[in-house]
Structure 1
């Protein structure tokens, strides 16, 4: 129990000696401090400690300890007893002050009014609070997109594991951060929960649940500070003004305390925060204007030891310079599980909660908006009323429908609660109509100015009497609210931006219906149609609203437009009967608006604008365009070749609205083309993983993908670009984006992308960049060579490199590359855990170098693939020795397609049983001496033509090893497998594992592989090699290889492969498990790589050929001799 003030004072005075007591009396007589009155000398003459207490209580009442502290502060210099007394008293005064402040904050924040409470029906904050995701990162830069766009972007982000910050740990430094955090800036859209978050932080402290090392928390709002614009304060006076407990305790300095200042709502600040032209203030007792005070506080000139927490909407974050902010955080809003958690907490009836959750999931627009906690509350308010009053009635599906119901609910509450009416009485009385009309005018006028909070002057400008506004806030409590700070003027606002935009749209709609005036026009005149026929045409209002919204670069009228169009629906107007005297709309008007929007969708609009127009069509209850595309998708008949711009936009809208399609986006599902990629770029941006391999992309595509990678709102984490001819220019564009601070890409696959030395230089810069997030890199099937790996090694040894997986299969590496890689693996800060070196001629000498690195205590490698690397028993001995010396990491070792011998297999297999080894996966099959031959010819297989498939215009010769196209029909027996139209054939050989063969050609031919089930009868693309999804082809002519084909898409082959010095012989290599199919031009001294398809083979493949008139193909006998390294075409 707290001691009484006289007792506290007596205990304090007991710590003073006699001489010090006399000095204490002296100060009481001549300078007690502050504005406290002096005590006459006669009252203190011969006074002992008890008498002194009695006299001081009479003179100073409840302020006795404050006066005592002021005097002891003056006395303590040079006086140990005074210091002791002062110290003891200070601690008691501090504890008392903290207790009072905690009680005040507890009382203020323990109840939360969602929106604003029904009178007498508050909700406990701790009961309703749902933990929000606060994530570190981002910048305080400008984001002036409409917040609905930001909400839609955030709602599409996958719920991936992410480092989050608990609200109680907001000032705790994250791992790797050296400097303590002084100032935190937290961003979040309106209604996301910023204010509730700071209230919860303060409440937990006040209830002794968290952060008890903090002596004081002072929560301010910019709304309160705005009304002090013309006044002057020192920092101490500002604290005393709002938190009188500190003044009563005589606390005039905060340097020795752990203090947190919270400033909520920077976006509502109307103070002139000019950081570049403001004088410096360093004295916390110096009075100045509030804006100057804040600027110096944020700069650290005032009370640098204090912690500051500022909350803001994204668009206002840039008001504070980055060097004044220690950490930027972002509130992500509710994830899908958190939405469900909220409704389960809100409704004790589990069945009712489940029905509401199911309904929200069905309506995409409602589901998106429920990302914001306050919209969850609006939804719960409406749906609870509908379920209770309209048994079996239809629940609202659109935003306009939801907000109209919300307005009706508030009108019902007013009618019953304030007007004494019955539930069955009409909702809209003349007084209610007047209130809504006034609020609508205020909403529209202030929306045009960009204001979310309003002061008395704003209301006066709109012609609203301040006393009337107070009545409105008391009646329509859940729409419009009034706040009063301590000793402050009144502040008004709508409970959320969306409510303000709805009422603004309602005002524009009603004004046009009642007077024919279009408030969206700069010169507001009555429409000509209205003058002639006394009936305003909503069509003209809608069209001007659509045009105005499309002109906005940041979507500031997007939500307003949805509401304005939705209000024209007859079903919605029925709900507002009594508020609207006439409708002014018809189904014909709405249909004309629908057609106008569809026409606009054909104008190649930006993705964001197109998406909002589809939301508008949804509000108008028209889903024809979307349903048309959905039907095509369901039936598998969607042909992107024939899509109009509007249909492309519909496809984007559908994919963005479908959660399941946003995890992995595979371009080939729609069209393996550059045009499709550019059209579907918003979907790529919203996806977690994008697969665009084998899609015939060019530099233009790289430029588009770079814009996605460097976008702050991109969700992309994995990008597969394999087998696209990116060239140096394309790679440079991508590299620049990969170094951008906003780029969060973690996995990049560039297999078979014809990368040059300059490309590797660019990647080196990326990997050593501090801002790079890359953890997985695939450079397989590129002509990297030893020189390329040497370039990359410098970046791989950078302390900023966080790469965990590196794939370098088929990169023309020799054993010399292993020397460089060994340095990387044994580097102190190496994070590499997976390394794929398959299909490189490393030999035992290279394996020895790698084995030395595996022995290093710094090596963290867990998976090593050395398949087909010309390794013998000797190499296995090196590996076994290394793993015995340092068995702590490697779990997986692939030595297939080598010749380890029985002893090598035995050595390594023993390690699988050794409890000291971590190795749990060892692959050694197939094995044998044949796999020690360098090059791909070791995989050679002899093909046999399936004579039952040969078209009758193809002639076989040379023991069925040569095929020639002839005009004479051959006398082959009828067979269901025979191609009856196209001059094609298949081989008998079903391909498994790794296979290699060579053919010579003359004339125009397709050299192909195909699934067995390809159609044989007819002349459709389903029968033609390379023109369907069941076959892959290389097209050749007498001039050389020309292009590759798959699924009726082709990409050209580089002309350098057509040199006359190169023979008319082609090699084909397929690795069925890996899903790679490669074509090579055969030269006397090398294999020239033409193209690699990277896919997943779902069935057995069979070689095949398609021959044009006069052409021929011959199957070659392949000798298993050594080939020099593969060379890329340039």
Structure 2
């Protein structure tokens, strides 16, 4: 086979480059602008995706000789096939094949009658062959088939009588089926390009998913298109931030269209389009201006294109015949059809077919014609519902085109748009957006934001996103275009109560840069369960330093020390009051940075959540330095499960009584503080300069030995502690009784005491009951659950609750071994109490017999707000009765 003839034919391919159809493959390849599209492959990362060329060559080198390229339009499948053939013709690849035959299925569709494979190749392959066919060695033959999705015949082998002789005459559909199913020219290799269609099930071999251009390929393409690197960068960034809906920017054809439009606008000093609609206005206006028809003629042309677009969308037809085009009113415009459509075949031939170059253009023309049509009675909602599922961007185009500033360039060519249709669209948009923004569907919220971004109308944003809109739902896992749309909406509003980015699993620097203005306008930013890149942390820092944010939630965000250091400059100079760093993989290394944040001149940080980070004693002691600074405003520190021990408590205690510390609330839960640690803390609790009011030592490895120190502290006139949680520590009877002595002191400030699972005994419950009735005790909340004292022990508390001197508002006796025998005393206590509001009774042994009395007493009580009866011994028989009282949880 003459490779030189093949090469010459490809380089001289007919056709013209068009904004809609893209640049000719031969031109792209010969001008060294070809960038291989990427393809998906199992077990590789995005940074290691193979090029389409590599995937094809790799598959052809295997034993399986059929390779199917699958992907949407415009991703570069056809160009890749031509590049493959050119590389073979230039002896660069595939030299194990002596001949390569290239066919397009849309051309095979026009071949009627019976002919042999030899005749098909001799007379219908281009370039034609002058030598005998080299078909004796099928393993040296490669067939390249393009546009399989446009093939009008069936590939199912069961509907054909497959042939095996290359000289045997048969229908073209039979020849194709016989080739692809291996009965004809067995051993030959095939590369087939197709969109996702049902015919794929009839193709064996290797399927290769074509991804097109990802970011690196787009950068390379733009840099080759524009001679000026600055112009290339400007064009690429603008495209990705205004036009990158889903996967359209992965299309090499779309990139070529954008580059062509942008280059023209940049060269003439004009503004680049802000929306997808504005881009397509430019694309449609160009051929309309070129052909210089009058307004009425242009209008009829676009309306005819709109009828064709509707037909293709509803019937899922990729192409239309000449007869169909005439029915759309396009007959008088056929001679200029190639300016707007792809034309396959000779215009004079009845077999000539017409199709849109892209789905995007088809939908844009449909939107334009709908807003242009002055005759239609079809409403917007009806039209959108009719095209639902087949038109992906129709509502976006309608949103853009409904704004005068965007459709005005077309009105100068087509005449006035139908104001009634525009009004109808805006009414639909407002009502549907109101319903959407009352719901919790993230994707629908995004769509609303995209529509608003397409409209580019600030007053419309404020009209639609009212105070009743629910825009605090999570917008995690955003695409770049989602970020653009969300940022547009927030900046139009001027401020945001809460920017919820929960579960954003990969916030890139580019996305964060786009969202930075929205971040700076948000009073609260939620990035919990998210993962930020280092670049994203830098943009977040910048947004914080110039913004309104008072609360930042980063818990479980995999931040780490390095990214936290990047974030710190923003934390030093911002309005932040609350910072949540729960489970952020921070270590001692971050503590110096935290100190610099807390002691900065502008620090306003009041609450710091550091729990479950590996801070350790050394890190915590560094952190204590901040508490000595007059610039530190910290009032609440949560540092649960941070590997602290007794060793750091002396330093912490010294900081608490330094006179500079503003700490009111400290949570040291799940650290090995130990009795010696409590002893150190008690020195501060007795000091007049210590401001601590709330101390939680839940599960802190304490025993009764610490209670003498706690008693001494609580007896001190300088102690201001009102909340003390000692739950899940082995205090025992002796230790708890010491605490009770302190609580009897008139003026003891403790109002909430946690003693759950502290190995308490009957004598302790008796003393607690006596204490609550004493008239000197200030306790309003007592957590005494998980101490198995049974009905007898808890009866002391019921008696206390019924006493007029008792101030309890909350009582927790979960899992204390209660039975139905206690219910009479329990109900009497509720009836007698004027203060009790909440009662925790879960995980006990109450049965159905107790339910009527409990429901009645809760219904009759004016002050009781909640009774929790979960995990008792109730059967379903009483659930309806429990439902009668909405204050009971079960």
> Scaled by the length of structure 1, what TM-score is found?
0.44
Q: Select 1:376's aligned residue among 243, 246, 255.
A: 255
Matches of 1:546 and 1:1040, distance apart in 2:
65
Q: Which moved more, 1:493-502 or 1:446-455?
A: 446-455
Q: 1:653 to 1:286 in 2, by over 3 A?
A: same
Aligned to 1:648: 473
Is residue 2:341 matched to residue 1:595? no
Following TM superposition, by how much is the alpha carbon of 1:570 offset from its aligned partner in structure 2, in angstroms?
1.1
Task: Please say if residues 137 and 328 of structure 1, whose CA atoms lie closer than 8 Å, have aligned partners that are also in contact.
Answer: no
Q: Does residue 203 in structure 1 map to residue 86 in structure 2?
A: yes
Aligned to 1:563: 397
Matched, 1:220 2:131: no
Distance verdict in 2 for CA 1:593–1:1002, change over 3 Å = farther
**Deviation digits for residues 579-619 of structure 1 (CA, Å, limit 9, x no counterpart):** 44333449976653442232341475865555434322322
Q: Deviations over 1:743-779 (max 9, x none)?
A: xxxxxx9xxxxxxxxxxxxxxxxxxxxxxxxxxxxxx
Deviations 1:989-1027 (A, max 9, x none): xxxxxxxx9534799x9xxxxxxxxxxxx9999x9999x
Q: Does 1:515 align with 2:386?
A: no
CA contact (8 A) 1:444 1:503 kept: no
CA deviation string 1:438-474 (max 9, x = no partner): 2232222222221223333432443432x7323221x
**Preserved CA contact (<8 Å) 1:233 1:287:** yes
Number of aligned residues: 571
Task: Label 1:429 to 1:973 Cα distance change in 2 as closer, same or farther (>3 A).
Answer: same
Find the aligned partners of 1:136 and 1:498 in 2 and give their Cα distance.
Answer: 27
Distance 2:463 2:723 in 1: 38
Match of 2:280 in 1: 403
Determine the structure 2 residue equivalent to 1:182.
65
SS in 2 for 1:984: strand
Q: Once the 2 structures are TM-superposed, how far is the Cα of residue 242 of structure 1 from its aligned partner?
A: 1.9
Aligned to 2:716: 972
For residue 724 of structure 2, the aligned residue among 984, 987, 1011 is 984
List per-residue Cα deviations over 1:480-511 (Å, max 9, x = no partner): 23233899843322221111111122122212
User: Which residues in structure 2 correspond to 1:412-561 (within 5 Å)?
Assistant: 412-415=289-292, 429-465=295-331, 468-473=333-338, 476=339, 479-484=340-345, 489-511=351-373, 514-518=374-378, 541-548=379-386, 552=388, 555-561=389-395
Residue among 204, 214, 219 paired with 1:340 = 219
| Distance change >3 Å, CA 291–CA 941, structure 1 → 2 | farther
Structure 1 pair 122/655, CA: closer, same or farther in 2 (3 Å)? closer
CA 1:246–1:386: 2 relative to 1, 3 Å: closer
Which structure's relative contact order is higher, taking Cα pairs within 8 Å and 6+ residues apart? 1
Give the equivalent residue in structure 2 for 1:999: 730
Unaligned runs of 5+ in 1: 1-93, 139-157, 420-427, 519-540, 632-641, 662-675, 689-714, 716-748, 750-935, 988-996, 1006-1017, 1027-1034, 1042-1054, 1061-1130
Alignment deviations for residues 775-819 of structure 1 (CA, whole Å, 9 cap, x no partner): xxxxxxxxxxxxxxxxxxxxxxxxxxxxxxxxxxxxxxxxxxxxx
**Closer, same or farther: CA 252–210 of 1 in aligned 2, 3 Å:** closer
Cα deviation, residue 327, structure 1: 0.7
- SS for the counterpart of 1:309 is strand
Distance 1:655 1:626 in 2: 20
1:1038 aligns with 2:872: no
User: Residues 745-784 of structure 1 correspond to what in structure 2 (within 5 A)?
Assistant: none
Larger helix percent = 2
Does the C-alpha gap of structure 1 residues 943 and 373 become closer, same or farther in structure 2, counting only changes over 3 Å? same
3-state DSSP class of the match of 1:127?
coil
Counterpart check, 1:191 vs 2:96: no
* C-alpha spacing 1:1020/1:131, structure 2 compared with 1 (3 Å): farther
| Deviation, structure 1 residue 186 | 0.9
2:242 maps to what in 1? 363
> Structure 1 CA distance, aligned partners of 2:430 and 2:755?
43
State the partner residue of 1:1101: none
Q: Deviations over 1:355-395 (max 9, x none)?
A: 22232243254695322111112212222232334x3x432
Query: Please, which of 395, 401, 415 is the counterpart of residue 581 of structure 1?
Result: 415
Cα drift, residue 185 of structure 1 = 1.0
RMSD: 5.3
Match of 1:961 in 2: 707
Structure 1 CA distance for aligned equivalents of residues 114 and 751 of structure 2:
84
- Equivalent residues in 2 for 1:694-773 (5 A)? none
Say if 1:404 and 1:576, in contact at 8 Å, map to a contact too. yes
Query: In 1, distance between residues paired with 2:246 and 2:164?
Result: 50
Aligned to 1:370, the other structure's residue is in SS state helix
Q: Identify the residue that residue 320 of structure 1 maps to in structure 2.
A: 200
Given the superposition, is the C-alpha separation of residues 131 and 1059 from structure 1 closer, same or farther in structure 2, using an over 3 Å criterion? farther
Match of 2:453 among 590, 600, 618: 618
In the TM superposition, residue 971 of structure 1 has moved relative to its aligned partner by 4.6
Structure 1 residues 959, 163: closer, same or farther in 2, change over 3 A?
Answer: closer
Q: Check conservation: 1:629, 1:647, Cα contact below 8 A.
A: no
- 1:867-906 to structure 2, matched below 5 A, reads none
Are the aligned partners of 1:626 and 1:650 in contact in 2 as well (CA < 8 Å)?
A: no
- SS of the residue corresponding to residue 344 of structure 2 reads strand
- Provide structure 2 residue ranges, at least 5 long, that are not aligned to the other structure: 487-499, 510-530, 532-557, 559-669, 686-691, 737-748, 757-782, 790-813, 819-890
Q: Deviations over 1:850-896 (max 9, x none)?
A: xxxxxxxxxxxxxxxxxxxxxxxxxxxxxxxxxxxxxxxxxxxxxxx
C-alpha distance in 2 between matches for 1:471 and 1:954:
81
| In structure 2, distance between residues paired with 1:402 and 1:127 | 27
Change (3 A) 1:386 1:952: closer
| Secondary structure of 1:249 counterpart | coil
Q: 2:96 matched to 1:234?
A: no
Aligned match for 1:310, one of 192, 204, 214: 192
User: Offset at 1:245?
Assistant: 6.0
How far the C-alpha of 1:338 sits from its partner, in A, is 1.7
Is contact 1:116–1:481 with CA below 8 Å preserved after alignment? yes
For the structure 1 residues 494 and 159, does the alpha-carbon distance in structure 2 shift closer, same or farther, using more than 3 Å as the test? farther
**Whole-angstrom distance in 1 between the partners of 2:295 and 2:505:** 52
| CA 598–961 in structure 1, closer or farther in 2 if over 3 Å, else same | same
Matching residue of 2:183: 301
Question: TM-score, length-normalised on structure 2?
Answer: 0.55
Counterpart contact for 1:280–1:301, Cα < 8 Å: yes
- CA–CA distance in 2 between the matches of 1:954 and 1:220? 77
Residue 938 to residue 275, structure 1, CA distance change in 2 (3 Å): same
Residues 401 and 205 of structure 1, relative CA distance in 2, 3 Å threshold: same
Retained in 1: the 8 A contact 2:37–2:51?
no
Aligned partners of 1:260, 1:486: CA distance in 2, in Å? 32
Paired with 2:235 and 2:472, the residues of 1 have a C-alpha distance of 32
Cα gap change, 1:1036 to 1:305, in 2 (>3 Å): farther
Could you tell me which residue of structure 2 aligns to residue 100 of structure 1? 5
Once residues 960 and 1019 of structure 1 are traced to their aligned partners in structure 2, the CA distance between those partners, rounded to angstroms, is 17
Corresponding residue for 1:172? 58
CA distance 1:944–1:130, change in 2 (3 Å):
same
Indicate the larger mover: 305-314 or 207-216: 207-216
Q: Deviations over 1:107-138 (max 9, x none)?
A: 3399977745799x965544221121123359
What whole-Å deviation, never above 9, does each CA across 1:259-292 have from its counterpart, x for those lacking one? 1111111222211333343323222222222222
What is the alpha-carbon distance in structure 2 between the residues aligned to residue 354 and residue 954 of structure 1? Answer: 55
- Secondary structure of 1:358's partner? helix
CA distance in 2, matches of 1:253, 1:103: 23
Contact kept? 2:343, 2:352, Cα under 8 Å:
yes
